[in-house]
Structure 1
Amino acid sequence: SVDSSDGMMKIPEGQIITDTMQEVPVNDQSEHEEAKTMSKNSVKKLSETKERVLQNPKASLSDRSASFVHLKEKGKAVPSTSPVSSQYLGSLKVLEDKCIQEKSPEFNKVDNLRAVVFQSWLEKKKLLLLELKRTEKEKAEILRNNTEKKEALKREESIACFEAWKKKKEKEAKKLSEKKKLEELEEKKPAEQNKEKTEAAQAVILYMMTSCSSISLCRNEKKEEYIKRKKIEKFLEKRKREMQQAKKEEKSEKAMEEYERWLENKMRREQLEKNQKKLQAVRGNEMSPPWRPPGKVTYSSNY
Structure 2
Amino acid sequence: MPEYGYFLSCEQYGPAELIEQARMAEQAGFRALWISDHYHPWNDAQGQSPFVWSVIGALSEAVSLPIETAVTCPTVRMHPAVVAQAAATSAVLTGGRFRLGVGTGEALNEHIVGGPWPPAHIRLEMLEEAVQVMRRLFSGEEVNHHGTHYTVENARLYTVPDEPVPIDVSGFGPAATRLASRVGDGYITMMPDASMVERYREGGGAGKPVSGGTKVCYDTDADAAVRTAHRLWANELLPGELGQVLPSPKHFEQAQTLVTEDMVRANRVCGADADAHVAELAKFADAGFDRVYVNQIGPDVRGFFDFYRTEVLPRL
TM-score, length of structure 1 as denominator length: 0.14
Give the structure with the larger helix fraction: 1
Higher relative strand content: 2
The one of the two structures with greater contact order (alpha-carbon pairs below 8 A, sep at least 6) is: 2
The alignment's TM-score, normalised by the length of structure 2, stands at: 0.14
